[in-house]
Chain A
Amino acid sequence: MPTTITGINDFVIKFANVNGSGSASANLLFAKSIMRMGVPVATRNIFPSNIQGLPTWYEVRVSAKGYRGRRGGVDLMVPMNPQTWDADIAEIEPGGYVFYDSTRPIPPSKFRPDINIIGMPLTEIVNGAYTDSRQRQLLKNIVYVGALSALLDIDPKAIEQLIGEQFKGKDKLIEPNHRALHMGRDYALKHLRCPLGIRVRHADRVGDKIFIDGNNAAALGAVYGGATFAAWYPITPSSSLAEAFQRHCRRYRVDTASGKNRFAIIQAEDELASIGMVIGAAWNGARAFTATSGPGISLMQEFLGLAYFAEIPAVIFDVQRGGPSTGMPTRTQQADLLSCAFASHGDTKHVMLFPADPKEAFEMAALAFDLADRLQTPIFVMLDLDIGMNESLVPPLTWDDARRMDRGKVMTAEMLEAGKDFGRYLDVDGDGIPYRTLPGTHPKRGAFFTRGTTKDRYARYSEDGTVYVDNMDRLLKKFATAKHLVPAPEWRESAEQAKAGVIYFGSTTPAMEEALDAFTQQGVHLDALRVRGFPFADTVYDFIARHDQVFVVEQNRDAQLRFLIVNEGNVDPSRLVSVLNYDGTPITARFIVDAISKKLVAANVMPFRKKAPAP
């Protein structure tokens, strides 16, 4: 008899499916039903670059504490895909469970002795109930959700309610889905031992939180940020951001009187055209953005240099995926930091924002448009597949109605008429940011020529070295101004004084929060700093100075954040120890705790005090 994992509101279940089999909506239904019981979940889609046929997985972490990172390991596996059977079985934790379709007998050698095996003839059941093959396939998913509701003690009313909401307007579909749900549930209650050692219990841990993916939230942030123009080229994992923007615009940006659109969206012929259109629109005073991923960033390089040097606002959402080249198009990484920070030839530096979750994706998306106008330069919002394409449970989005767009330094017709000196690249107040004029402003004043070649403070072409240096140095001054405008880092002090610190950013955040809790429980004290923008605030360097050993945790091979920290702040590289996860799966708390624990020992430093053992 295997041991049995037990746990209430704290376990991981993973569904292994075939892409295109209609499993996604059933799995989402499963996850949402747990949330409706007041229990937090964290879900992740692990999907192939394929429309139909290849393996796909959906992982649901049920966590009373509300941990949103991947935990690692699986307590209950639902292997619905024979292709991946062996790997799926291998992933189950000792004492865990497998719930499988037992219609066709599977030899005992295909299981493990240390797991609990629960078979149910799903195919047989649906084949007996339905004749249409598509219906059989789709409703089989609902049948297993019904069975799981019995095994995990999930409230069937929550599922029924969700089915009702999902098929609102297509009411015909509600009844068959309800029937399939109960078909599965009733079978399980009758033939299987319910509930399992792992189960769900009603709680009050969700509150007013919302369940949303980062691309959707960022797209809404662009609407709230006043974007009127988007140009994009389809690329995983960013396409859903542009598509969500279109959806939000149709809902919130149509002039009710005329039925006309207060937005324009172009699906361009490639990423070069996308960024070119964005630059053209922003040059002409519209708030404009593109959404792309690493390969798109590579294609946009020349234009990004133009926008930097000619000082044109632009917002780029980079939903990062596994690189280099086509890389792992449907896996996550934080591997575009360097290609964005220094995009284009020559000396360039770009501003980046690092949202940690969908809520921050919304906030930083809106902020990016203010920053782009204020700084007159491209702003990169660095999302990744993990944030962008997975729904996450986050506090509700908020907006201050008193907030107004910051359009930055734009010289108006009145200012020009009043005789104000206009030099397009003239720094009048010491922050490195000049005034710009929009085309068509004034009949006689304020026109200038925008170019990627060197120019003087009045935008006149020049090949004079001193004029060039003057301009390049002003751009550095502007970059220093940006340091104070990007979101400040979040400094998290440990309960007791710590000699070691950890720096992290973006989608590593949920796993890091959990890892820090785990360290605290072990009596290991680590201060933590979450970086939220580039250029780095001075706080980042204060943090490093205040700790003997600093870990930099990131999801790429080459320690790109560490590279930026070392080089921008002239930090001794030996002070920064890398913790790197780059296999394309989201980083886990287990991985972080394990890696840091080993390095703390390896470095032979004791930056923590063990709590006195209990008497």
Chain B
Amino acid sequence: MTYIAKPKFHHPKLATNKLGFTHRDYEGAVSTLCAGCGHDSISAAIIEACFELDLAPHRVAKLSGIGCSSKTPTYFLGQSHGFNSVHGRMPAVLTGANLANRDLIYFGVSGDGDSASIGLGQFAHSIRRSVNMVYIVENNGVYGLTKGQFSATADKGSQSRRGVANMDEPIDLATMAILLGAGFVARGFSGDKTQLVPLIKAAIEHKGAAFLDVISPCVAFNNHPGSTKSYEYVREHNEAVNSLDFMVPREPIVADYAPGSVEQVTQHDGSVINLRKLAGEYDLHDRSAAIRYISEGEKAGEVVTGLLYLDPEAVDLHERLGTVDVALNALGDAELVPGAETLARFNRSLR
């Protein structure tokens, strides 16, 4: 049950990060998802990323919609405020939260039903507004909590557990995010933590909308032969375009890669991404080339993963709106209320 707290004791020699926190300080309640659920691996990757980046857990806010994926914020970062909102509407709630306090880190956790079906509009608009957030879709192609109906990301021809094939075209959220102007778009696989953790870290440090489509197999309803979102299928068809090491500014950059095979990208905040190219000519700064590559991979039955698009100079919503540097929720009467004298002048203009 989600309200069962984990025991607080831990091994005395458990490693601590620069803030003195251990892994355990980034954990949440015990998961109530099915054993083997891909979503739990994603939660573990978020915990790992936050630990390694030395984030203060209480400076993170976790928001979600409705569904299995949206339950997961309970299972990581127990010292962070969380908000399990309504189905498909996490992006709006996150946008408002972000504008109220620009100083926190915002995780938007959603699923394929939540973001590609009921919430497609809000997904699109939060991306095009460049809300500073890490938007993670835990993508399994089915509705888990209502027992296995197809979602809008299910591939055409993919079979349900009962053997029925999906006849509709799939929505590729990563492609859409690139189209809509996200500054950071990646695809990962819950079964590949080595790839996923650096992607999440880089997404956290990115300024603006960072979108992560994480294929996360549903062991209960979509992990059978004939499914294109099963562990087996994704492992066999995973086509990573790059692999990355992520470094925050304070870390020394140690490059020991073969010359020409690595691209270093410095983000707005000074953090550096070392990208090892795996797919020859893939250019992650070229929007239309990225979309073409993903689409061709899809036609060939491949699941294209890695950091798919990056604009290191992206501008976030606060910058677009020209808001003050201090969080809006910290402003008081003196900064907000114009006062009686101003009102008297206003009155005079209306006579």
Asked whether A and B interact, the reply is yes
Q: Which positions in A face B, CB cutoff 8 Å?
A: 35, 206, 208-212, 220, 223-224, 226, 228-229, 231, 252-253, 255, 258-266, 268-270, 272-286, 288, 302-303, 306, 396-401, 403-405, 437-444, 447-453, 456, 460-462
- Which of B57, B80, B104, B350 interacts with A210 by CB under 8 Å? B350
The residue of chain A having its C-beta at the shortest distance from the C-beta of B339 within the complex is A401
B81 touching A276, Cβ below 8 Å: no
Q: Given the complex of chains A and B, what is the CA–CA distance between A139 and B142 in angstroms?
A: 65
Stretch of B174-182, B193-201, B221-229, B329-337 on the interface side:
B329-337
Contact A303 B96 (CB under 8 A): no
In whole Å, how far is A125's beta carbon from the nearest beta carbon of chain B? Answer: 32
Measured CB to CB, the closest approach of chain A to B126, in angstroms, equals: 9
Task: Answer whether residue B324 sits at the interface, using C-beta atoms and an 8 A cutoff.
Answer: yes
Is A229 a contact partner of B100 (Cβ separation < 8 A)?
Answer: yes
Among candidates A212, A401, A461, residue contacting B350 with C-beta atoms closer than 8 Å: A212
Q: Let me know if B121 and A283 touch, CB within 8 A.
A: no
What chain B residues lie within 8 Å of A269 (beta carbons)? 121-122, 124-125
**Cβ-defined contact, A439 with B328, below 8 A:** no
Q: Which of B3, B57, B84, B331 contacts A262 (CB 8 A)?
A: B331
B301 at the binding interface (Cβ < 8 Å): no
29 residue pairs bridging A and B, Cβ less than 8 Å apart? A212-B350, A228-B329, A228-B336, A229-B328, A231-B92, A261-B322, A261-B323, A266-B129, A270-B121, A276-B93, A277-B96, A281-B96, A281-B97, A281-B328, A284-B329, A286-B99, A286-B101, A288-B100, A397-B346, A399-B343, A403-B337, A405-B336, A438-B101, A439-B58, A439-B61, A439-B104, A442-B58, A449-B82, A452-B84
CB-CB < 8 A to B343: which residues of A?
224, 397-399
User: Do A444 and B79 touch (CB < 8 A)?
Assistant: yes
Asked if B97 and A449 sit within 8 Å, CB to CB, the answer is no
* Nearest CB in chain B: distance from A595 CB, A: 34
Chain A min CB distance to B285 (Å): 28
B268 / chain A contacts, CB cutoff of 8 Å = none
Q: Shortest Cβ distance from B101 into chain A, in angstroms?
A: 5
A462–B4 Cα gap in the complex (Å)?
Answer: 11
Instruction: Among A279, A401, A449, A460, point to the contact of B96 (Cβ < 8 A).
Output: A279
> Which chain A residues lie closer than 8 Å to B84 at the CB level?
449-453
Please give 15 more A-B residue pairs, beta carbons under 8 A apart, in addition to A228-B331, A264-B99, A302-B86.
A231-B96, A277-B95, A277-B99, A280-B63, A280-B98, A280-B100, A281-B100, A398-B340, A400-B340, A439-B101, A441-B58, A443-B57, A443-B58, A447-B58, A447-B80
Q: Which residues of B contact A461 (CB under 8 A)?
A: 1-3, 74
Per DSSP, are chain A's interface residues mostly helix, strand or loop, or mixed?
Answer: loop
Pick the residue among B104, B122, B328 that contacts A228 (CB under 8 A).
B328
Q: Is B351's CB under 8 angstroms from A211's CB? A: yes
B94-138 interface code vs A (CB 8 A; 1 in, 0 out): 111111110110000000000000000110110001000000000
The count of residues in chain B whose C-beta lies closer than 8 Å to any C-beta of chain A is 63
Q: How many Å lie between the Cα of A284 and that of B342 in the bound state?
A: 29
Q: Are A276 and B96 closer than 8 Å at their CB atoms? A: yes
Q: A268-B92, A397-B343, A401-B340 are in contact. Are A281 and B57 (CB under 8 A)?
A: no
For the complex formed, measure the closest distance between the CB of B180 and the CB atoms of chain A, giving whole angstroms: 12
* A100 to B176 alpha-carbon distance, docked (Å): 59
A277-B95, A450-B83 known; A440 vs B100 contact (CB < 8 Å) = no
A279-B61 in contact (CB<8A) = no
Q: Of A35, A274, A397, A443, which is within 8 A of B347 by CB?
A: A397
Report the bound CA distance from A262 to B323 in whole Å: 6
Q: Give residues 293-346 of B contacting A (CB, 8 Å).
A: 318, 321-325, 328-329, 331-333, 335-340, 342-344, 346
- Residue of B59, B85, B318, B329 near A276 (CB, 8 A) is B85
A-B contacts at CB below 8 angstroms, number: 229
Q: How far is the CA of A441 from the CA of B81 in the complex (A)?
A: 9
**CA distance in complex: A197, B89 (Å):** 63
Task: For chain B, residues 57 to 80, give those with C-beta under 8 angstroms from any C-beta of chain A.
Answer: 57-59, 61, 63, 73-74, 78-80
Q: Which residues of A contact B346 (CB under 8 A)?
A: 220, 397
Cα of A437 to Cα of B58 in the assembled complex, Å: 12
- Say whether B56 faces chain A, with CB atoms less than 8 Å apart: yes
Judging by beta carbons under 8 Å apart, are A280 and B81 in contact?
Answer: no
Identify B93's interface contact among A212, A280, A438, CB under 8 A. Answer: A280
Q: Measured between alpha carbons, how far is A443 from B21 in the docked complex, in Å?
A: 11
Complex CA gap A444/B79 in Å reads: 6
- Which chain A residues lie closer than 8 Å to B56 at the CB level? 443
| Contact, CB under 8 Å: A284 / B79 | no
- Distance, CA A448 to CA B77, complexed state (A): 11
Closest to B128 in A: A269
* Complexed CA–CA distance, A569 and B82 (Å): 39
Q: Do B92 and A280 touch (CB < 8 A)? A: yes
Top 7 A-B pairs ranked by shortest CB distance? A276-B92, A280-B96, A286-B100, A285-B329, A277-B96, A439-B81, A281-B96
